[in-house]
Amino acid sequence: MSERLEKVTLESGVSVQPVYGPEDVEHIDAARDIGPPGEYPFTRGIHPEMYRTRPFTMRQYAGFGTPEETNKRFKFLIDNGQNALNVAFDLPTQMGLDSSDPMAEGEVGRVGMAVDTLADMELAFEDIPIDQISVSLTVNALALPIMAMYFVVAEKHGVSLESVRGTAQNDILKEYIGRGAWVFPVEPAVRLIGDTIEFCARQAPKYYPVSVCGYHIRESGANPVQEIAYAYAIASEYVRTGLERGLEIDDFAGRISFNFDIHGNLFEQVAKFRAARRLWARIMRDEFGAQDPRTMKMKMIAGGGGGGLTIEQPENNIVRGAYYALISALSGAQTMALCSFDEAYTIPTEKAALISLRTMQILVEEMGLRDTVDPLAGSYYVEWLTSELEQRILKEMRRVDDEWGGILNAVKDGLAQREVAHQAWQYEKGIQEGIIPKVGVNRYRMEEADHEVDLHPYRAELAEQSIQRTAQVISSRDAESVSSALDQLRQAALGGENLMPAALEAVRAYTSLGEMTAVMKEVFGEFKEPVRL
């Protein structure tokens, strides 16, 4: 650590000089490329006064076990100052399986809450003021029916479709690359996203139906430049589906938001986000013809990523979380979340979730991050790096088109998947060979006692409860309505109609997620993973 750094190369491949000065930013047209916050190209931030007006939203991912258990955790977080919810669903739910499905065994309620029918959603949000608290649903392949469930719950809370707010992750293309919760093949999956975009644009105009995730792509091994490039390639595809439905760009594209990953070099991350804002504004205006500035604003949740955290010396992750939160605030994120210090072990305990929340609250209240916008602007290094990264992101986007034939092709053929896997391997080699420093792992290692971390326990009896409740719901619902609703769903799927109306009907009749998914699998088939090492 005490030797001079002879060569510094960032994850994105940029070489860093020891000193930056005025000559390094001479080529940058400040008026055109930087500009004031709240004005095109929004490099400095999407609002004129950013956190001075309102701090970033804190939205920790939460959910496990039964809806009742999740409801309790929601209330705990809200009581402790969290102002928005991000709902975690268990894997069976994410994969469209009911809790009783054989493939669901051992997984019910493990990494999120189990939702089989509307009854579960109703319980999850009991006594939660969803007219005041923004709710994000982390679901992808089955986003359409889960959104339908949420819309019906909102109705029951007195919130109409026209006023319902919130967001669904609903980004299937990143699943194929880096998260793995895919079900249907690429084309029908993208069509479903088109359905949600169209439905929301016309009937639920305050809802944000898609959150494009560079996050998971980076977590799978992509470097920061690729994270943005692939996310924008993906977002562009979704924008195209909206346009294909006859929507005007300004009618819907402004409600596509982004989910990005923070770990690693502080300045690289901040510059990445500034470049990303500028680039998205340019893409929306120049490529897609947007005229409303709101469409051009790149809205994001930028979260402290698990990829930077370690299993060794887990308390170090509390510190990393604080640094990542700082980066997020310096980067002008609208919403922030942090992976908790026990990330490598299990889903967060109450204590770990609370520490993450307090980390963000201390940042907001004590550290001056609200005082002024984009405080790093004008820094020779940061402006130079912002422009440098923008160029590299553009280059990588072109590569996706020129070398891979576009992101849809890349995903179907496993090209993007292979790229990130190879990067991940190189990175891991760098860690294991001690070239990429990681405190506690290859620097300052300690003989540790069996990691004494208070783990979140998995409770199998909660799985049983889910299964029982669903059986109850099934036995007391009107079978005719369900059968007819499933027929409608099938017809809509076969006929290329928007599935949302049929899904809403099915949900109201307490059709289960598994039943709806089975119909969709019947019509759409299932994705065949292109395994390429």
Partner 1 sequence: MAGLVTDEKDLMEKKIRVLIAKPGLDGHDRGAKVVALALRDAGFEVIYTGLHQTVEEIVEAAAQEDVDVIGLSILSGAHLPIARKLNEQLSEVNFHPVVMVGGSIPSRDIQPLRDLGIDAVFPTGSQFTEIADFIRSSDKVPPEGQAA
Residues with Cβ within 8 Å of residue 77, at least 6 apart in sequence: 60, 62, 85, 353, 357
Residue 455 in contact with partner 1, rule: CB under 8 A: yes
Residue 95 in contact with partner 1, rule: CB under 8 A: yes
> In the complex, what is the shortest distance from the CB of residue 531 to partner 1, in angstroms, rounded to a whole number?
4
> In the complex, what is the shortest distance from the CB of residue 425 to partner 1, in angstroms, rounded to a whole number?
4
> In the complex, what is the shortest distance from the CB of residue 221 to partner 1, in angstroms, rounded to a whole number?
6
Q: Which is nearer to partner 1, 286 or 315 (CB)?
A: 315
Among 132, 429, 444, 483, binds partner 1 (CB under 8 A): 429
Q: How far apart are CA 42 and CA 282, in angstroms?
A: 10
Q: Which is nearer to partner 1, 20 or 345 (CB)?
A: 345
Quick check: 256 and 250 in contact, CB under 8 A? Answer: no
Q: How far apart are CA 92 and CA 101, in angstroms?
A: 8
> In the complex, what is the shortest distance from the CB of residue 178 to partner 1, in angstroms, rounded to a whole number?
8
Q: Which is nearer to partner 1, 1 or 533 (CB)?
A: 533
Residue 312 in contact with partner 1, rule: CB under 8 A: yes
For residue 280 the two structure tokens come to 């998205």
Q: Which is nearer to partner 1, 455 or 479 (CB)?
A: 455
- Of 81, 73, 90, the closest CA to residue 56 belongs to 81
Residue 91 in contact with partner 1, rule: CB under 8 A: yes
Q: Where are the alpha helices (DSSP H) in 157-306?
A: 172-178, 186-203, 215-219, 224-244, 249-252, 266-282, 293-296
Q: How many residues bind partner 1 (CB under 8 A)?
A: 42
> In the complex, what is the shortest distance from the CB of residue 298 to partner 1, in angstroms, rounded to a whole number?
26
Among 49, 105, 126, 315, binds partner 1 (CB under 8 A): 105
Q: Tokens 């290094």 identify what position?
A: 381
Q: How far apart are CA 78 and CA 23, in angstroms?
A: 49
Q: Which is nearer to partner 1, 5 or 533 (CB)?
A: 533
Q: Check residue 432 and give left, alpha or beta (phi > 0: left; psi -120 to 50: alpha).
A: alpha
List the beta bridge partners of residue 212: 258
Q: Which is nearer to partner 1, 425 or 444 (CB)?
A: 425
Residue 103 in contact with partner 1, rule: CB under 8 A: yes
What residues between 120 and 179 interact with partner 1 by CB under 8 A?
A: 175, 178-179
> What strand order describes the sheet that includes 61-62?
61-62, 84-88, 134-138, 166-168, 207-208
Rg (CA), the chain: 23
Instruction: Evaluate the CA torsion angle 79, 82, 84, 87 in order and state its sign.
Output: negative
> In the complex, what is the shortest distance from the CB of residue 180 to partner 1, in angstroms, rounded to a whole number?
2
Among 11, 219, 383, 419, binds partner 1 (CB under 8 A): 219
Integer CA distances (angstroms), 458 to 72, 95, 346, 485, in order: 16, 20, 9, 35
> In the complex, what is the shortest distance from the CB of residue 447 to partner 1, in angstroms, rounded to a whole number?
13
Binding site for partner 1 (CB under 8 A): 91-92, 94-95, 97, 103-107, 110-111, 175, 178-182, 219-221, 310-312, 344-346, 421-422, 424-425, 428-429, 432, 441, 450-451, 455, 458, 529, 531, 533
